[in-house]
Amino acid sequence: MASSALSRIANLRRHFNPSNPTSKGEGLMKMSPEVSEALTRGKPVVALESTIISHGMPYPLNVGTAKDVEAIVRENGAVPATIAILDGVPCIGLSMEEIERLAKMGSKARKTARRDIAHVVATRGNGATTVSATMVFASMVGIPIFVTGGIGGVHRYGESTMDISSDLTELGRTPIAVISAGVKSILDIPRTLEYLETQGVCVAAYKTDEFPAFFTETSGYKAPCQVDSPEDCARLIDSNMNLGINSGILVAVPIPKEYSASGNLIESAIQKALKEAREQNITGSAETPFLLGRVNELTGGASLASNIAVVKNNAHVGPEITVSHARLHKNS
């Protein structure tokens, strides 16, 4: 009870004294009234990334999906906080107009990971936040749970290129629970799991002992641990926070059976797209959007439909966990 009361007092101090921020970054950010009120009152809030809006799919499908995901979060009892940088201002919670603007901007918005945040802010640019940047901002304002489609990881041939997503190091340094469909299957899944272990990240599969592979329910690799309910997840998140471990948690939720694409079809498309990326020397932050787009073309749109299904499914699961976590805090 005491820790919960102290948390509320800290939130109130931040919101009523914005000119005297109590932690780094607060004076530079804009928070929507809905998110601000929810955090102050201890209501469940779910963070959402914005790269999926600008780089994940074409307009107007992207704006429709973003609005649907926010609606699903609300229907399941939480407040959505889509995060992006607009005109150099980190925004925690976007209006419908801002989502529409970002969706129309598309890839003109900078794909913003942790390393890019300061530059996008300094140049008053527009940035769509990746998993790592979204985690940074969510942690700054006290949002403990974040829903996305899939996280980045170790790229195939990463042992030679050292192309490793900053999502993994962010999970190792920022105590946020990320709800995803595991790792995008365009990546090297076993090496990604090894790297997450090195970073001290708790990886838990949801209602299964198999680690999912984004487009498919299974990857052929076992998850280090398993959680079977929102309450299990809430207790795991609470233990991680209370112990002060200071690393994140990855909750891997399998894609629904009815949307799981054929593993062989997807894998064949991935191999072809990887070959084309190498031939065209497409690397770094440009590689994932290229691969996902090319795989979608090669599978006749099946992978994009699965991508949308993944995000919407996680938008159901994430708020259930968030509500359970808020209830746990309220009763403590």
Task: Indicate which residues carry an active-site annotation.
Answer: 49, 184
- Tokens of residue 96, six digits: 């419908």
Give the β-pairing of 79-86 and 127-129: antiparallel
- What distance in Å separates the CA atoms of residue 159 and residue 218, rounded to the nearest whole number? 24
Q: Answer whether 235's CB lies under 8 Å from 328's CB.
A: yes
Cis preceding-peptide flag for 256 (omega within 30 of 0):
no
Identify the three-state secondary structure at position 151: strand
- Name the residue among 215, 171, 176 with its Cα closest to residue 192: 171
> Tokens 């009234």 map to which residue?
33
- What distance in Å separates the CA atoms of residue 41 and residue 21, rounded to the nearest whole number? 19
> Residue 42: what are its φ and ψ, rounded to 5°?
75, 25
109: alpha, beta or left? (left if phi > 0; alpha if psi -120 to 50): beta
Give the β-pairing of 30-31 and 89-92: parallel
- Tokens of residue 235, six digits: 């207790």
Residue 77 CA to its chain's centroid (Å): 19
- Tokens of residue 261, six digits: 């694409």
The strand pairing partners of 85, in sequence order, are 90, 127
